[in-house]
Structure 1
Amino acid sequence: MARWLKGVALLNLALLMVLALSIWSTHIPDKPFHMVSYEQGQSDFHVIEFNDDGEMHLPEQYQALKQRLEATPGVQLLIFIHGWHHNAAPNDDNFIAFKRFHQQLALSQAGVVGLYIGWRGDEYDPFWLDGSDDPESQVEALDFPTIVTRKQVARRVGENGVRQLLASLDSLHQQGLLSRYVLIGHSLGGVVALHGRKQAILDNLAQGKGETHLTVLLNPAATASEYQPLDKWLSPPGFGPSMLVMQSKTDFAVREAFSWIKDGERAVGHSWAVTHDVDPCPMRDCSKAIKLPQALAEHDAKPGCMRVLEGVGWKVRARLHARKSVQSCFDANNQAVWVLAVADGVIAGHNGILTDHQMLALAALMKASRAERNYSPTVTQEQIAAD
């Protein structure tokens, strides 16, 4: 027995040593990755980085962006905020993917400037279990407890630094230097974006104002309670949603592990808050006739209950009776925030983001809305062509 207990003690000691080694060897410093050069003020791609307190590492990064906007007033700004395990390192998968995403979008949307918002998505990677770069990772959930402290940081970065940054961009919009911005946040970056923009959206809705800008949260690691203050609001007449929350139905990290770590509280995209479903058409061709269940066919036939996002082959359906406030397609389509449950062919798992099809979908949404109005479910193909 004594020998067995000694063996267990040695095994525990060895595990602690491996954990300590993994933490020490994978520590990520809280520092900026991008110095500012004179040429940056003329670039169409920018980076702004925040520390764990939500302060800009280098305020010159914002000044360079402002200089670029002043050079060509009226451009659009595409903003991406990364999530857990990521940062603004030049070799970070999210950084590389967003640069490509922006370049592809700029081909169809002239005058789009890209902005990558970086923060320390993780301090370390215990046991080297980071599977965040693999949409089909089977080990990412084993590293999940690290999300607790980083979620606190994400909220702080959103409420402090990003909120101030967006307020500055709102001011540049009012001055005519910026047409509008589209803000995209993924995972914990969705938490940053939510808390960076939520109060401004609430203030605008309370004043009866619609949103010029659009906020898109992809698989956000945010609870339904964090989102709930936005839930009671409807879009003002003539405006579409102020925010889109897109949650993959195959997102294990958020659906299961997140619910468990938050003591049973559900994430917003897997809760009562869902207003719409998004499914890809077969072979991305929505013109092909397919056999549907009778109830779904009758639903799609009702005006406003189903629309096709042309060019990408997605069907967007209003979800009815999920809660008392949504009893019709009109109710769902007039929510100030659309919470969309999306199929695997739209977002694959937790990390299936910044794909070519998503780029086409975003281009379609941006083309369907002018600077003074957001995407509306009633926009016609004639209006899209006119824009």
Structure 2
Amino acid sequence: MSLIKMMPLQALLCASALLTGCASNEIYRSIYEPCSVSPGNACEKNSLHLYNTDQDNEYTLGFVEIDDQGQLRDRKQMQALLDTLYKKAAEESILLNVFVHGWHHNARPGDPNIESFKDNLAKLSAIESRRSKELKRPARKIAGVYVGWRGESIDVPPFNYLTFWDRKSTAQDVGYLGVSELLVKLEEIANVRNSMMPPIKSRLVVIGHSFGGAVVYSATSQILASRFVDSQEGKGFTDTAKGFGDLVVLLNPAFEALRYAPFYDLAQARCSYFPQQVPRLAILTSEADVATGTLFPLGRVFSTFFETHHDIERNDCKHPLALDEGEADRNTVGHYLPLISHNLTSLDKEKNLQIASYDNMKSLWSTQTPGGSTQYGSTVLTHLSRTNPQNPYLNIRVDEDIIADHNDVFNEKVMEFIRLLIGLSTED
């Protein structure tokens, strides 16, 4: 059979695969009552899970699902979660952790991101229980919120890799619409609890991976900018820079560096920070992430072909920056080197470094110097002298032996570092 005659057949097979391989567009968690998970009861249809009740690693996990247009699949699902959390926050302080997944993932039972998120929640709960005993204070209850959306529209390999740009557009809709509402309401839960002057404050941490990082950034970026401006001089007072909740973490995020540039400028224009300033936004990108480092800019070459770009020179607070708008528009935030503020590398035991622990992190952070390095667990965070050391926005380039590829973000080295960052940003 000639090549020409084979082409219609191949096209038909491809079309058939695409039509029959569409990822599920239905809600996964359709029962909204709390369910205690046990070895014999996985509670797969429930949107509210209770784990390890009355143990040191106890936590609550809730699911909220968003459709391709950024709308809640069922508002009752979100309201059931909020009602549960409001009730919990009225009785005791909580540490809320939100996770928004990325490409190829969803809220399906057994999704690897769900299992990894659960493991991290249990470890956070154990740390909180231990800290409460050490500091002789009440323990905050750990609550996780897993935000599910269609991380791919076709689930047949290798055609699912064709969904990259389709899912990029969807991620922006998900962030601007349904997730914004959810995050603001979750922050309100923490704030209502804190208005009661509890012995330990409730806190909120939001984490997004891949396109989930783009979702979170779209949902929070304008709020972050507004709160940063409110902290600056000329407003009648100067304060520490506030963020959204207490900490936003983006892991291998898939959005353009040009979208981050205004935040970099905001933070650079403030030449000094108070010693008690803590991180508010942390971006971690692996140098070995092919999806955001290679595939993303290849696609952006075509989508930016007819756009005009300029070169921008900055020297705010004696920190020079040469910004190539074209390169920043084609590359992701973690792969545009002029905007990188830190490196994260594996521990070199031969070096004598300051070691960050839950007891001394705030002190170390407030006294760090340009170009300094600090040990966080089994990793070392090194400041690159491009920003003020207390700058609340961290854009961190991560060695491949810590994050091996696009999806390797839940390994223990990374999670240990993030748990320490959470401790730094949320301890009273």
CA distance in 2 between counterparts of 1:37 and 1:125 reads: 27
- Out of 358, 361, 369, the residue aligned to residue 303 of structure 1 is 369
TM-score, reference length from structure 2: 0.72
The change in CA–CA distance for 1:34 and 1:63 in structure 2 (over 3 A counts) is same
Report the Cα distance in structure 1 between the residues aligned to 2:128 and 2:411, rounded to whole angstroms: 17
Which of 28, 38, 44 pairs up with 1:33?
A: 28
Between the aligned partners of 1:76 and 1:91, the Cα distance in structure 2 is: 24
Distance 1:117 1:253 in 2: 22
Q: What's the counterpart of residue 200 of structure 1? A: 223
Aligned to 1:256: 294
Amino acid at match of 2:229: A
Deviation digits for residues 183-227 of structure 1 (CA, Å, limit 9, x no counterpart): 111111110011011111011011114235111110111111222
1:273 corresponds to 2:290: no
From the superposition, tell whether residues 147 and 332 of structure 1 become closer, same or farther in structure 2 (CA, over 3 Å). farther
What is the rounded CA distance, in whole Å, between the counterparts of 1:158 and 1:286 in structure 2? 44
Please, which of 398, 417, 425 is the counterpart of residue 361 of structure 1?
Answer: 417
1:48·1:116 contact (CA, 8 Å) conserved in 2?
A: yes
Q: Deviations over 1:235-280 (max 9, x none)?
A: 7533223211101011111111111111161111010211110101
Q: 2:279 and 2:422 mapped to 1: Cα distance?
A: 13
Q: Does 1:21 align with 2:16?
A: yes
Aligned-pair CA distance for 1:313:
1.7
Partner of 2:380 in structure 1?
A: 315
Question: Which residue identity is paired with 2:339?
Answer: A
1:213 corresponding residue in structure 2? 246
1:357–1:9 distance in 2 versus 1, CA, 3 Å: same
Deviation at 1:303, TM superposition (A): 3.3
TM-score, normalised to structure 1, is 0.79
- Which residue of 160, 181, 185 corresponds with 1:164? 181
What's the offset of the Cα at 1:114?
Answer: 1.1
The secondary structure found in structure 1 opposite 2:187 is helix
Q: Deviations over 1:321-376 (max 9, x none)?
A: xxxxx3xxxx342334211000012211111011222222222222233356xxxx
Report the CA distance shift for 1:123/1:37 in structure 2 as closer, same or farther (over 3 A).
same
Secondary structure of the structure 1 residue equivalent to 2:95: strand
Matched, 1:59 2:75: yes
Aligned to 1:225: 258
User: Which one-letter code corresponds to 1:49 in the other structure?
Assistant: E
Q: Contact 2:65–2:73 (CA<8 Å) still a contact in 1?
A: yes
What is the aligned counterpart of 1:190 among 207, 213, 218?
A: 213
Q: Structure 1 residue 77 and structure 2 residue 96: aligned?
A: yes
Confirm or deny: 8 A CA contact 1:275 1:319 kept in the other structure.
yes
Describe how 1:148-163 pairs up with structure 2 within 5 A. 148-163=165-180
Q: Distance in 1 between matches of 2:388 and 2:8?
A: 56
Deviation at 1:287, TM superposition (A): 5.8
Counterpart residue identity of residue 129, structure 1: P
Partner of 2:107: 88
Could you tell me how far apart the structure 2 residues matched to 1:31 and 1:199 are? 31
Contact 1:280-1:313 within 8 A present in 2 as well:
yes
CA distance in 2 between counterparts of 1:220 and 1:42 reads 28
**Whole-angstrom CA distance in 2 between matches of 1:287 and 1:369:** 26
Cα-Cα RMSD: 2.3
Structure 1 letter corresponding to 2:300? K
Structure 1 match to 2:204: 181
Q: Whole-Å Cα distance in 1 between the matches of residues 100 and 283 of structure 2?
A: 14
Identity of aligned residues (%): 24
Query: Structure 1's 220 and 286: CA in aligned 2 closer, same or farther, altered over 3 A?
Result: farther
Residue 163 (structure 1) shift: 1.1
Instruction: Between the two structures, name the one with larger relative contact order (CA 8 Å, sep ≥ 6).
Output: 1
One-letter amino acid of the structure 2 residue matched with residue 268 of structure 1: V
- Name the SS for the 1:176 alignment partner: helix
Distance 2:223 2:350 in 1: 37
Tell me, in whole angstroms, the C-alpha distance in 2 between the residues paired with 1:250 and 1:119.
Answer: 26
Counterpart-to-counterpart distance in 1, 2:300 and 2:189: 38
Distance 1:371 1:305, change over 3 A: same
Per the TM alignment, residue 101 of structure 1 is displaced from its structure 2 partner at its CA by 2.4
- Name the CA shift for 1:39/1:370 in 2 (closer, same or farther; >3 Å): closer
Identify the residue that residue 338 of structure 1 maps to in structure 2: 394
1:112-139 deviations in whole A, cap 9, x for unaligned?
111110001111145x127xxxxxxxxx
- Taking the aligned partners of 1:286 and 1:117, their CA distance within structure 2 comes to 42
Q: Deviations over 1:132-159 (max 9, x none)?
A: xxxxxxxxxxx54421111111001001
**Aligned-partner Cα distance in 1 for 2:248–2:81:** 20
